Chain A
Amino acid sequence: MKLPIYATPLERTWAWAYRAICGAIFVFLIAPILIIIPLSFNAEPYFTFTREMLTFDPAGYSSRWYDNLLTFGMIAPDAARDGNWWSDVWANASWVQAAKNSVIIGFFSTILATVLGTIAALGLSRPEMPYRKAIMAILISPMIVPIIITATGLFFFYSNPCAMFVGLGLDPACGRLAGTYLGVVLAHATLGIPFVIITVTATLLGFDRSLLRASASLGAGPVTTFFKVQLPLITPGVVSGALFAFVTSFDEVVVVLFIGSHEQQTIPRAMWNGIREQISPSILAVAAILVVVSIGLLTVVELLRRRSERMRGLSPA
């Protein structure tokens, strides 16, 4: 942003104004996310800064809402905080159960989306792939179709998945995926797949295909070539695709609302219910934890991206 030597005074003023405008937009982008963190330590059940908080009086701050996250749903929240108390938290606290559900569902749907997505991306990135654009459009569509339409369609399908295969001689009432973990995992995998496809095909663009021929000429079969040569080089792309898929599942609420039962209470679903009924400061504590988690994820993705660029020689180390 260096101004040329011939810049007029008006242009110099504009350059400063431009920086100020950009600064204001950055504040608009970031402030709403970061403001959650101090607010979640409010000692009072208000959603604004109290006088004590503004004067940095320790009495204005408290971790009671975080404590509330652990104790809510426990059998004996007031017992002494020993091993039994913690096992009570692990087994009964509502938010802990929600977190467990979110992690389990996120983990399995990420595995499914990443494996299927990576294999498909390998095919899509081959130059001889037929109908490439049309197939790509279908595979990316879960990202584009409005979530409410997806949720509605999946609701009918998962309520009675066998109805689709009546023509194949299957009993039309052979099972139900709505209200099961498997159903939510499959649905979340569907939503995560476009992200895996996009990141892995983008990584494969920078992959030197002559390495495959080199490997084959040295006697490696296609499987060995994939695991020893190709996969190590595209790992950054695969991992960031997997992270995208995980975040998609971890953040998803509408599909869970439609096809999950009370058993599949995830963090977003619990937050959604909390916000709709009576927004309590505990929600802010959850939100603050999620902000910290997303900062961590972003850091991992950013490091992966730099590593991948370094490997492709795009940027100096």
Chain B
Amino acid sequence: MADVTMDAPAARPELLRTADGMPLKAALAAASRRARIRAFLLVLPLLAFILITFVVPIGQMLSRSMINDQFSASMPAVGQWFADNPNAAPDEAAFAALASDLAGAAEARTIGEVGTRINYDVPGTRSLFTSTGRKAKTLAPPYRDALLAIDKDWDRPDLWATMRAASTPATTAFYQAALDRKLTPEGKYERADAGSRIYVTLFIRTFILSVVITGLCLLLGYPIAHLLAVLPLRHASLLMILVLLPFWTSLLVRTTSWMVLLQGQGVINNVLVSLGIIGDDGRLAMMYNQTGTIIAMTHILLPFMILPLYSVMKTIPPSYARAARSLGASSWTTFRRIYLPQTAPGIGAGGILVFILAVGYYITPALVGGADGTLISNQIAFHMQKSLNWSLAAALASMLLAAVLILYWAYDRLVGIDNMKLG
């Protein structure tokens, strides 16, 4: 309305003004700005809380994948030599710098950190650093011969290539490791041998298992969601409770149940044996392998498929299907050509949601997965807690997070985050 007034000043020379004499357009703009600020101030406390306690910490954690100063912080002289002599083989000056750095790091008690960093890429070298560090103070020129006298491994080209790579804090070494590429003595990266390509294999396995689980959830969830959508509300809400109960039950409880059911001496095997379907010596191995992970995760994620499907199917009027039937379509054709396309948004929403949750799953695979049923999350936990290679854990985590965020974006485009519903 204000615009109309403004656009036609000739017809109405006097500007519309508010009681205190402000032009109406400016007053409206100020009011709407105030409203925007007020709305934003309501959200601000939570936004600040999430940014400080969640977004920034995760960003900092991920930066460990590219910045690692375990070696460079304690070994300045060698770092300087590498900077001054690109592409040179280690000479006496390099060994002298190494000897002084080893002595300094041993003094500062950071030699273990230094050795650990090199040990990530050249296994078995941590003790080389710590044992040489203990004697480094007594070393005398010529340093090359003195160091080689302690351990002749100090001449290994791959060791020097790794030290060169680690001599600056910024590094891609951990992403290379996460992609199963290893450093050659010439300082180049190449694919690791087929036998030691752990992480790419694991990413592929995580992807395949997630696809299988999402597919199974769709297969089992679709009929249930349809049944709930077409039944009268009274019956549907009773059956809905059967879907919501697993949703509200503790994850550990559900995983425990599956462990009890799937064990060698568990309920399912016992029933099969007592029915004579399998022999007592032929009990099925359904746990501590991929089968266990797939069964338990399908059960746990099924409600996340059923609920979005249900909310879409609920809005589909039955008259379309009736119209198709009255025009001569068979029930199969009606389903395939009329009903299924209308449920596509629900399939997309449920599918992406289940897939997002499945790729990052940790607890269930850790408990029932055994050796070949674990996912990428379990490997991240292993590097965080056991091997303490935090930079590699961060590299794997950022690759997983990138995949999840792409899916999240797709989910937002497809469903809209504000349309997400629970229960």
Contact = CB atoms under 8 A, between A and B. Distances in A.
A22 B224 contact: yes
A279 B242 CA distance: 27
Interface string B408-423: 1000100001101111
Given A1-B231, A48-B270, A150 B54 contact: yes
B126 interface: no
Interface of A is mostly: helix
B47 A138 contact: yes
B363 interface: yes
Contact of B58 (A18, A153, A276): A153
B400 A268 contact: no
Interface in B209-265: 220, 223-224, 227, 230-231, 233, 237, 239, 241-246, 248-261, 263, 265
Contact of A244 (B40, B62, B265, B422): B422
Given A33-B249, A244-B422, A152 B397 contact: yes
Contact of A190 (B50, B241, B303): B50
Contacts of B265: 46-48
Contact of A139 (B50, B233, B244, B259): B50
Interface in A19-48: 19, 21-22, 25-26, 28-30, 32-33, 35-36, 39, 46-48
A294 interface: yes
B360 to A, nearest CB: 2
B204 interface: no
A173 to B, nearest CB: 16
B61 A116 contact: no
A291 B39 CA distance: 41
B220 A25 contact: yes
A302 B242 CA distance: 12
A70 interface: no
B36 interface: yes
Given A128-B35, A129-B39, A116 B248 contact: no
A30 B239 contact: no
Interface in A115-142: 116-117, 119-120, 122-124, 126, 128-130, 132-133, 135-142
Contacts of A135: 43, 47
Interface stretch (B117-125, B128-136, B154-162, B377-385): B377-385
B423 A247 contact: no
A90 interface: no
Nearest to B245: A298
Interface residue range, chain A: 35 or more
A207 interface: no
A139 B397 contact: no
A26 B36 CA distance: 48
Nearest to A186: B53
Interface stretch (A73-81, A196-204, A212-220): A196-204
A141 B54 contact: yes
Interface stretch (A61-69, A92-100, A282-290): A282-290
B245 A33 contact: yes
Nearest to B331: A11
Contacts of A25: 220, 223-224
B57 interface: yes
A47 B268 CA distance: 11
Given A139-B50, A156-B60, A123 B248 contact: no
A305 interface: yes
A157 B377 contact: no
A301 B423 contact: yes
Nearest to B233: A315
A247 B248 contact: yes
Contacts of A201: 418
B76 to A, nearest CB: 22
A298 B267 CA distance: 27
A187 interface: yes
A157 B361 CA distance: 22
Nearest to B232: A1
Contact of A297 (B45, B47, B248): B248
Question: Which of A30, A47, A122, A305 has the most chain B CB atoms closer than 10 A to its own CB?
Answer: A47
B51 interface: yes
Contacts of A268: 250, 252
A190 B256 contact: no
Contacts, number: 274
A201 B418 CA distance: 8
A297 to B, nearest CB: 6
A129 B420 contact: no
B412 A149 contact: no
Contacts of A149: 58, 61, 360, 380, 397, 400-401
A140 to B, nearest CB: 5
A156 B62 CA distance: 11
B248 A145 contact: no
Given A36-B253, A47-B265, A48-B270, A129 B397 contact: no
A148 B381 contact: yes
Contact of B60 (A21, A140, A164, A305): A164
29 contacts: A4-B325, A14-B331, A26-B224, A28-B299, A29-B243, A29-B246, A48-B267, A120-B46, A122-B42, A126-B38, A128-B36, A129-B40, A129-B43, A133-B418, A138-B51, A146-B359, A156-B57, A157-B56, A164-B52, A164-B57, A195-B422, A254-B363, A268-B250, A275-B252, A275-B259, A279-B259, A290-B249, A298-B248, A315-B233
Given A146-B362, A247-B248, 17 more contacts: A33-B249, A119-B45, A123-B38, A135-B43, A138-B50, A147-B363, A148-B360, A149-B380, A153-B58, A157-B61, A164-B56, A186-B53, A283-B256, A290-B250, A291-B253, A294-B249, A302-B244
Q: Nearest 7 A-B pairs (CB), nearest first?
A: A146-B360, A123-B42, A157-B57, A153-B58, A120-B46, A123-B43, A153-B61
Interface of B: 32, 35-36, 38-43, 45-47, 49-62, 64, 220, 223-224, 227, 230-231, 233, 237, 239, 241-246, 248-261, 263, 265-267, 270, 299, 302-303, 322, 325, 331, 356, 359-363, 367, 377, 380-381, 384, 393-394, 397, 400-401, 404, 408, 412, 417-418, 420-423
Interface of A: 1, 4, 6, 11, 14, 18-19, 21-22, 25-26, 28-30, 32-33, 35-36, 39, 46-49, 116-117, 119-120, 122-124, 126, 128-130, 132-133, 135-142, 144-150, 152-157, 164, 186-187, 189-190, 193, 195, 198-199, 201-202, 240, 244, 247, 250-251, 253-254, 258, 268, 271-272, 275-276, 279, 283-284, 287, 290-291, 294-295, 297-298, 301-302, 305, 315
